[in-house]
Amino acid sequence: MSDGLVIIGGSDAGIMAGLWAKETDPSARVAILVRDGYPNFSICGIPFFVSGETPQWSMLAHRTVDDLTEAGLDVRIDHEVTSIDPLRRVVLVKSTSGDLELGYDQLVIGTGAAPVVPPIPGIDLPGVHVVHTMDDARSLRAAVDDGARRIVLIGAGYIGTEMADALAHRELEVTIVEMAPAVLTTFDPDLGAAIGDRLAERGVRVVCNTTVDRVDDGEDGLVVYGSPDLRVEADVVLVAVGVRPESRLAADAGVTVDGRGAIVVDDRMRTDVDAIWAAGDCVHTHHRLIPDPVYLPLGTTAHKQGRVAGINAVGGDAAYAGSLGTQAVKVLDRVAARTGLRNDEARAAGYDPLSSTVEVDDHKAYYPGATKLTVRITGDGRTGRLLGAQLIGTYGAEVSKRVDIVAAALQADALVSSLCDLDLSYTPPLSSPWDPVQVAAHQWIREHRSADLA
């Protein structure tokens, strides 16, 4: 390599691309250009920094710059790429020491995502925050540390509910506003409502089926208005309605993006422009159960895609196996997790979905501390194929690991009945001879026996 591998972006996908490129070819020259001063920081850890459970922002670094340098990576912080010239194979960079051009042999784009900021009047007022970068996190925590007490959260997805948990941990007055019928909109509404009820029990005001219309300056802070009937005063408004792909650099360089703005890649994370690869929250994602690509900005996905991009960019051979959208979130003392498809998603993908739900003890009731775990299994009514699962339970009930059981079975294209055959661990303090996931599979078979072909 003359100019080597250049990676744009120092978050999950970019860092993974660099580390795996060096592992694949230790002689490779790898430069990572980071727009800010926070390479390899955990965006997923921001709520815990705001809550104070993680006291120092620096603790959110997966690796320090020294760690990355020791791994052989040339990490350049405060280097913002302003454009890509694929014909000359150079990137134009703005840095603290001036503008420069940097050549590349291969380029990985890992620019991630940007927060969606809805076009609401007043959304740009002082006191309105987003939380996506470390600077965002430090700004919000500073506002809380300086005495902000009344917080309005717009959006009740994963980030919104995690932030509601974080701010409730600080004993603040929290209102969370969501357009959908329940919080956690990637879950079935009744399961999301269970998390909303728990937030309400903890003192969080949960307002669903409501659209925020505007944010005004008030006599004592901000005032949030919404339809049909919302007026709430706030010291801080936090917008958490989702993210969009940060793909402008790629699009301007002639790389194809889809209708959502996500960079189009194949299973090797290759774009349609020679020598340019892309990975992470800026790209579309191949889903194992859906024929068309989807947009699934997840840290786990970014790590895997970054690995594939890095290996291939230095001449290796790797392919991305596809995502199932496996996710888990802790909200107060509850955990919600899902993998695969819900009924509505499966129907849209051409399946004939059927679901069954059980409520069962997370471990043997005679051992102290047993709590109820809700498990919903979805399978195809024509073939008996396993399509997905949603779980709600108490923190400590192994909810995330149990959803991983289903994720592993989905990866193997298993039937619902295959869950019953898995040789899972058992000891009374942790489970039962039939794990709760297997109890849910038994229930699905009882209710939909004609559909199961096993």
pLDDT digits (tens, 9 = 90+) for 70-116: 999 999 999 999 999 999 999 999 999 899 999 999 999 999 999 99
* Mean pLDDT score, 214-237: 95
Lowest mean pLDDT among 318-322, 392-396, 446-450: 446-450
The pLDDT value recorded for residue 1 is 36
The pLDDT value recorded for residue 450 is 59
Looking at this protein, which amino acid is placed at residue 36? D
Q: Which two tokens stand for residue 88?
A: 């000359």
Span between the terminal Cα atoms of the chain, in Å: 53
In the predicted model, is pLDDT for residue 55 greater than 60? yes
* Average of per-residue pLDDT values in the chain: 95
The 10s digit of each residue's pLDDT in 173-212 is: 999 999 999 999 999 999 999 999 999 999 999 999 999 9
In the predicted model, is pLDDT for residue 377 greater than 60? yes
Q: 3-class SS at 357?
A: strand
* Mean pLDDT score, 142-171: 96
Residues with Cβ within 8 Å of 395's Cβ and at least 6 positions away in sequence, in order, are: 330, 332, 333, 334, 335
**Quick one: CA torsion of 360, 361, 365, 369, rounded to 10 degrees?**
-160
In the predicted model, is pLDDT for residue 454 greater than 60? no
CA 312, CA 277: separation in Å to the nearest integer? 9
In the predicted model, is pLDDT for residue 453 greater than 90? no
CA 68, CA 75: separation in Å to the nearest integer? 7
Residue 409 sits at φ, ψ, to 5 deg, of -65, -40
In the predicted model, is pLDDT for residue 249 greater than 70? yes
Q: Which two tokens stand for residue 391?
A: 């779980």
Tell me the whole-structure pTM to 2 decimals.
0.94
Secondary-structure breakdown of the chain: helix, strand, coil percentages, each rounded to the nearest 5: 30, 30, 45
Q: By the 8 A CB rule, do 356 and 448 touch?
A: yes
In the predicted model, is pLDDT for residue 167 greater than 50? yes
Q: By the 8 A CB rule, do 72 and 78 touch?
A: no
CA 75, CA 361: separation in Å to the nearest integer? 49
Distance set, CA 417 to CA 188, 351, 362, 435 (Å): 23, 17, 20, 14
The 10s digit of each residue's pLDDT in 15-49 is: 999 999 999 999 999 999 999 999 999 989 999 99
Lookup result for tokens 């709760």:
436
The pLDDT value recorded for residue 449 is 76
Q: By the 8 A CB rule, do 211 and 226 touch?
A: yes
Bridge partner list, 89: none
Q: By the 8 A CB rule, do 305 and 286 touch?
A: no
* Mean pLDDT score, 234-262: 97
